[in-house]
Every structure is written in structure tokens, then in C-alpha cells.
Amino acid sequence: METLAFILTAVTLIGLALAVVFARRPVRSALALIAALLVVASAFAQNEAPYLATLQVLVYAGAIMVLFLFVIMLLNLGPEPRLGLPAAWGLRLSGAVVAMGTLIPGVLVASSPVVTQRVLDGSVGHIGALMFTRFPFAFESISLILLAAVVSAITLAMERPV
């Protein structure tokens, strides 16, 4: 059952990611990205992170992707004439392949067995307690970052700069 769920998740996730990258219309990229983010939420749930799965649906697939769709509608983007390959695309492609090749040893090292006595508690209560006891400084910094992002986004998007 777990295996079947994993295979379904993997196939749909990779297919949707390829659709994001290779769709010619930006709207289709965005819609495929929404579906891909929902599949990532299911991957979170399968790794015993139910709270994160909920957040992923609400914040990512909900709020962030609505922003993307709004911008696509505002800019009225049509289809691109062809999948325009950039200059030196062979160099870029091989750069990506080499960059990913350097990560493969990390995955291989990770495959040693783990002996742990603890049980993962991904509930809202436990995560909230951790957030306010072990990461209070990070929590406060996040509010500052969000404030800075809001101010800069409004300033950038204004017709006449201040």
C-alpha cells in the first residue's frame, strides 16, 4: 500500500514538474505547479507531517499560487512562439547535470540505517511548543522579513515610485 502510494506520488510529481517546465503557456505552467504543490503536500503527509501538508495546501497551493495567477492575468501573457532555447543551452544543460551529479554521493551516504528510539510527533501542539521554546528568535525574524517583503513589494509595484 505504501509502495503503491509512493509510486503514484513519484510519477505524478515528476510528470507535473516536467509540465511546469515545458508548457508553452505560462498559465498552464502555473496550473501544473498548483497540482505539483498538492502532490508535495501528499508527500508531506506520507512522511508523517500532517500539519505541514495542511500548510502546504493553504499557503503554497492557495495563497502563493493565487498571486502567480493574478500576475499572469494582469500581464496577459500569451503562448510563446516556440520553446525558445537560450544562448549556450548545451553549456547550461551540462552545468545542471554536473550540479546534480555532485548531489548523488549525499543520497548514497544517507542510505546507512538509522537507529532512533524517538517517535516523530508532527502535531500542531508539538510544533507550536517547539517554535516558541527553541526558535523564538527565528519566529520574530520571520515577522520582520514578511514586513520588509510587503513594503518592498508595494514600493516596486507602484506606478510612481515614492
Partner 1 sequence: MTFAVTHDHWLALAQILFFVGLLGALLRRNALVVLMSIELMLNAGNLTLAVYGHRYAMAETHVIIFFLLAIAAAEAAVGLALMLNISRTHDTLNLDAMTSLRELL
CB of 123 to partner 1, least distance (A): 9
Count of C-beta atoms within a 10 Å radius of residue 14: 12
Entry field: residues in the chain: 162
CB of 48 to partner 1, least distance (A): 6
Interface positions, 18-77, toward partner 1 (CB under 8 A): 18, 20-21, 26, 29-30, 33, 36-37, 40, 43-44, 47-49, 51-52, 55-56, 59-60, 63-64, 67-68, 70-72, 74-75, 77
Pick from 110, 137, 160, 162 the residue near partner 1 by CB under 8 A: 110
CB of 76 to partner 1, least distance (A): 10
Return the closest-CA partner of residue 61 out of 76, 75, 42, 48: 42
What grid cell was written down for 79? 503562448
Residue 123: partners with Cβ closer than 8 Å, 6 or more residues away? 50, 51
Pick from 81, 105, 130, 137 the residue near partner 1 by CB under 8 A: 130
Distance CA 123, CA 50 (A): 7
Burial (CB < 10 A; 0-12, 13-18, 19+), residue 57, is middle
Q: What is the pattern of x (binds partner 1, CB under 8 A) and - over residues 73-92?
A: -xx-x--x---xxxx-x--x
CA torsion through residues 9, 10, 14, 15, sign: negative
Using CB under 8 A as the binding rule, whether residue 98 contacts partner 1 is answered as no
Pick from 102, 116, 137, 140 the residue near partner 1 by CB under 8 A: 116
What grid cell was written down for 159? 506606478
Under DSSP, is residue 160 helix (H, G, I), strand (E, B) or coil?
coil
Using CB under 8 A as the binding rule, whether residue 162 contacts partner 1 is answered as no
Using CB under 8 A as the binding rule, whether residue 134 contacts partner 1 is answered as yes
CB of 162 to partner 1, least distance (A): 14
